[in-house]
Amino acid sequence: MPVSKPTPPQGVGSTGSEHASVVQTDSSHSGLFRLSWPLLLAPILAGIVFNLKSYVFQDSPPGSYALCTPDGKNVYTVDARNTRAQCILVHKAMIVDTGSLEQIQSHWENSVVLHGVYTHKPLPVRWTKPGSIIVPGLADSHAHILEYGASQQLPLEGTKSINETVQRVRDYINANPDVKADKSMYILGGGWDHTVWPTSGWPSAADLDADPIIRDRPIVLQSKDCHALWVSSAALEGSLPFPSEVEGGVIVRDESGRPTGTLLDNAQELLRQPKLNERDLMQRFKITVEHAVKHGLTSIHDAGLDPSSLEFFKRQADIGTLPIRIYGMRFFDENGEYWGNITEPLIAYNDGRLTARSVKIFADGALRTGGAALYEPYADNPSTNGFMRLDEEVLFKYIPLFLRDGWQVNVHAIGDRANGIVVDAFEASLARANVTALRPRLEHAQMMTKEDMARLGKLGVIASVQPTHAISDMWYAEQRLGPERVKNLYAFRTLIDSGARIALGSDFPVESMNPLSGFYAAVSRLSPDGESPHGPDGWFPDQRLTRLEALRGMTIDPAYASFSESFLGSLESSKRADFVVLSQDIMEVPINKILDTKVLATVIDGEAVYGGI
């Protein structure tokens, strides 16, 4: 059958049907189903049609199209050879083929001819805009879905002082009549960052209570890193009295021993708050999904702080198709019963939209709040070297148990001591489980000795890292750690060169949700305005990733880290049609232009969930 060869439309790419290509066929084939012995052929043809796979198209192939880039090979497949192509061929939810337009049309034609099925419908060919590229669906390897939605209700990111933060809370109350009218309503916000404030101390309930609009209202404000709560007196009252000490946490107190209104790490769990209803959860979920697809995210690994998050996602999946892919980490409660041997993993539930086959464990606190567990005391606070949120014995008991029972174990570890202990626990698990096959993860892996980085590669432990943390922390990190230890902080290049596999994320709402912010930070180690403590070449520029490493780190590597590389993470035949159209080539443009890139379309299972194709 001769095939016409449509050319890309001139000017702006088409998203409609006016530029669709037409597969022309010889009219002599039109008699295929009008032979004189139809009764003989009928059962044969019926059998052929019945056994057709996704590659074979009948009379009217629903959801079939080729998407091509007009500037040549601007489809980054991220396959094993990092192949680039001109087009992808999609049928329903799957990718059928990649290649040139001629190859794609030949595949379409041969699928028809080989199976003896004639298609009366042309193959639609859609063109992206000139200069744009197509990449696999972007994934965030570490984020907090419902917490992000909550933070957007009263965002405190960017405030420069305690007073400015209080002002923002007051403005929120004044701008919402229903909130202002009900003084008993809990007001939740998040994103404050004391490291950029001129004062060195923690904020207090008194700072909130001093404002007449805020006074007597229950206010709960989550810190930027989610490791501290700043609350009003009205919010504290219902939770008192507090214990004298909290293992793995700190209750900030005044000189008289009274709680001031700041709770760190495990102490946050002491605060009693009203239980969220389904409407609250749905509102947060919708906000996050709406923002995520606008940024090109098709998959999110939820490291939820709230153990009820996964139950909510499961309920939504039972109601209908989840709007985005979620890899959920189950909550670990050291005081609860061990459940690894009695709970079934949730794998590819809801047509591959929801998986929960891992457990999330917290080893230590955060560098920003001084809770990261270090081998040596903090340079700016020699009275402490941070703290472990769990006893070492707990890690050495439960990590091997979960691995033995087939669970991926993902451990939050920030400081060099915490990371060292967790790697020890993984190593000790070798006698009970194939550690590499279960793909355990260090969530953050922020500061590690070179020896421990080398052990990651040998054990097959994945480093789930967040490049935007590096450019946020670079301004205070050396003061906190000193000039030598800081070299082992966010040492991404050393991790890779040691043989470790990485997966990139943002930890949103701690940092920007935009995955291109992480891409930019990974390859530049510069602030968005092009600055760093070490100048325009970036903060410790020898630790930069290449653009290809960064792209793989937000596509195929997160897929591997979530056991989904067989159907996600790259644009290859038989994989899900999850992809993103970007306005410019992030692999080629100058570094200072990367953040100008726009998402033109986000596609999940072959259908645009944002923009259009």
- Rounded to the nearest angstrom, the gap between the alpha carbon of residue 41 and the centroid of all alpha carbons in its chain is 52
To 5 degrees, how large is the angle CA 175–CA 179–CA 182? 140
Positive or negative CA dihedral for 424, 428, 430, 434? negative
Q: Is the pTM of this model over 0.95?
A: no
- Whole-number Å distance between alpha carbons of 603 and 610: 7
* b/e 227-239 (16+ beta carbons within 10 angstroms → b): bbbbbbbbbbeee
Q: Are 503 and 553 in contact (CB under 8 A)?
A: yes
Burial label, 165 (beta-carbon count in 10 A; 0-12, 13-18, 19+): buried
Query: Would you state the CATH architecture of domain 145-270?
Result: Roll (3.10)
Q: Are 442 and 464 in contact (CB under 8 A)?
A: yes
- Whole-number Å distance between alpha carbons of 341 and 118: 53
Strand order in the sheet with 87-91: 94-99, 87-91, 64-68, 125-127
Q: Judging by DSSP bridges, how do beta strands 259-265 and 228-231 pair with one another?
A: antiparallel
Q: Are 221 and 230 in contact (CB under 8 A)?
A: yes
Minimal CA–CA distance to 547: which of 517, 519, 585, 505?
A: 519
To 5 degrees, how large is the angle CA 117–CA 119–CA 120? 145
Q: Judging by DSSP bridges, how do beta strands 87-91 and 94-99 pair with one another?
A: antiparallel
Q: Are 439 and 468 in contact (CB under 8 A)?
A: no
What's phi and psi for 296, nearest 5 deg? 85, 10
Q: Which mean pLDDT values do the consecutive 10-residue runs of the chain (613 residues) have? A: 46 36 32 34 36 35 85 96 97 95 88 48 90 98 95 91 96 94 93 86 95 96 90 94 90 94 92 91 96 98 89 96 97 94 95 96 93 96 95 96 96 98 95 88 98 94 98 96 98 96 96 97 98 98 98 98 98 97 98 98 97 94
What's phi and psi for 191, nearest 5 deg? 115, 0
- Whole-number Å distance between alpha carbons of 363 and 377: 18
Do 145-270 and 1-137+571-613 have the same topology in CATH? no
What pLDDT is attached to residue 378?
97
In terms of residues, how long is the chain? 613
The conformation of residue 381, written as its DSSP 8-state character, comes to: B
**Residue 311: C-alpha distances to residues 190, 242, 364 (Å):** 23, 29, 25
Whether omega for the bond prior to residue 212 falls within 30 degrees of 0, making it cis, is no
107: three-class secondary structure by DSSP: helix
3-state secondary structure 477-511: HHHHHCCCHHHHECCHHHHHHCCCEEEECCCCCCC
419: three-class secondary structure by DSSP: helix
Q: What number of H helices and E strands is found in the chain?
A: 19, 24
Q: Judging by DSSP bridges, how do beta strands 354-362 and 297-302 pair with one another?
A: unpaired
Amino acid letter, residue 33: F
Amino acid letter, residue 419: N
- CATH class name, domain 1-137+571-613: mainly beta
Task: Give the up-direction half-sphere exposure of residue 506: CA atoms within 13 A in the CB hemisphere.
Answer: 27
Q: Which residues are CB-contacts of 218 (< 8 A; sequence separation ≥ 6)?
A: 184, 185, 186, 187, 231, 232, 234, 235, 238
Q: Are 290 and 152 in contact (CB under 8 A)?
A: no
Minimal CA–CA distance to 528: which of 538, 142, 488?
A: 538
Element (H, E) at 350: helix 349-352
What pLDDT is attached to residue 121?
66
- Whole-number Å distance between alpha carbons of 175 and 263: 28
- Whole-number Å distance between alpha carbons of 442 and 142: 11
Minimal CA–CA distance to 477: which of 405, 528, 426, 414?
A: 414
What pLDDT is attached to residue 226?
84
Minimal CA–CA distance to 385: which of 303, 283, 485, 525?
A: 485
The domain locations on the chain are 1-137+571-613, 145-270
Positive or negative CA dihedral for 11, 13, 14, 18? positive
Strand-pairing partners, residue 501, are 462
Burial label, 244 (beta-carbon count in 10 A; 0-12, 13-18, 19+): exposed
Token match 């390859």: residue? 523
**Residue 50: C-alpha distances to residues 32, 47, 57 (Å):** 18, 5, 11
**What are the DSSP calls for 34-90, one per residue?**
--S-HHHHHHHHHHHHHT--TT---SS-TTEEEEE-TTSS-EE---TT--EESEEEE
